[in-house]
Amino acid sequence: MHRKPVLAANWKLNHTPNDARAFLQRFLAQVPKLNERTLVFFPSAMTVGTVIEGLKDRPEIWVGVQNVHGEAQGAFTGENSVLMARDIGARVVLVGHSERRHVFGETDAQTTKKMALIAQARLTPMLCVGETLEEREAGRTGEVVERQLAAGLAELEDAQVAGIMLAYEPVWAIGTGRTATPADASEIHGVLRRALASRVGDKAAAGIPILYGGSVNRGNATQLLAAPDVDGLLVGGASLDADSWASIVRA
């Protein structure tokens, strides 16, 4: 089955609204409409509106948010909700990014709640899974990513599972310059695909894009995208420069 590659830029805590305007001007000049791949931007919450406005003539490019709170509304100062994300025009929500898990202490239980809320709001969740270096060296990679995946899907109906995106990002490869080899990525993507198939069947599982994230750059993007079962890339640092990101999305 041919899945349309998904190329996602996670800007993390970078790029003010003014930075984003300048970035989009430079980026869009280099990237004509690409029908054969889906592009997604994940700006910070305060920059999302600017990016959505800047892409109004390019509806084929999706904009997402990096996080939402696990409740739809309430007394949660400083948080953002799924309804706010949807209202502003976001289409995708990152869930369980390794920094949310390891810097902010998010649990599998919180991932479960967020995934359910996002699906109910008819937004697309992009669930991130990945192991630490210790877990990898202990031979526990498969077990860890399957546990994280199961938690993410726990409260979803099968039809909702079929509409998610998945990203494998080994924690030891994020921002370290160490990248999983294309063979490493393929192996774990295969584990994830089989776990999805056991939940929703082969046909639905075959339609779910599984992205790789972790020190992706211009130099390794093409090789990673060519690996079996790698359906896209979730890119951090290399997506912050308009020229670098333009060359990756054209890879």
**pLDDT per residue as tens digits for the range 29-78:** 999 998 999 999 999 999 999 999 999 999 999 999 999 999 999 999 99
What's the confidence (pLDDT) of residue 1? 46
**pLDDT per residue as tens digits for the range 134-176:** 999 999 999 999 999 999 999 999 999 999 999 999 999 888 8
Residue 133, number of CB atoms within 10 A of its CB: 13
Q: Tell me, yes or no, if 97 is annotated catalytic.
A: yes
**pLDDT per residue as tens digits for the range 205-244:** 999 999 999 999 999 999 999 999 999 999 999 999 999 9
What's the confidence (pLDDT) of residue 176? 83
Kindly give, in sequence order, each residue whose CB lies less than 8 Å from that of residue 166, ignoring residues fewer than 6 positions away.
126, 127, 129, 149, 192, 196, 208, 209, 210, 211
Give the mean pLDDT of 171-198. 93
Q: Tell me, yes or no, if 169 is annotated catalytic.
A: yes
What's the confidence (pLDDT) of residue 171? 93
Kindly give, in sequence order, each residue whose CB lies less than 8 Å from that of residue 177, ignoring residues fewer than 6 positions away.
215
What's the confidence (pLDDT) of residue 2? 58
What's the confidence (pLDDT) of residue 57? 96
User: Exactly one of 106, 131, 169, 189 is catalytic; which is it?
Assistant: 169
User: Exactly one of 69, 97, 99, 189 is catalytic; which is it?
Assistant: 97
What's the confidence (pLDDT) of residue 251? 82
Regarding pTM above 0.85, the answer is: yes
Kindly give, in sequence order, each residue whose CB lies less than 8 Å from that of residue 86, ignoring residues fewer than 6 positions away.
121, 122, 123
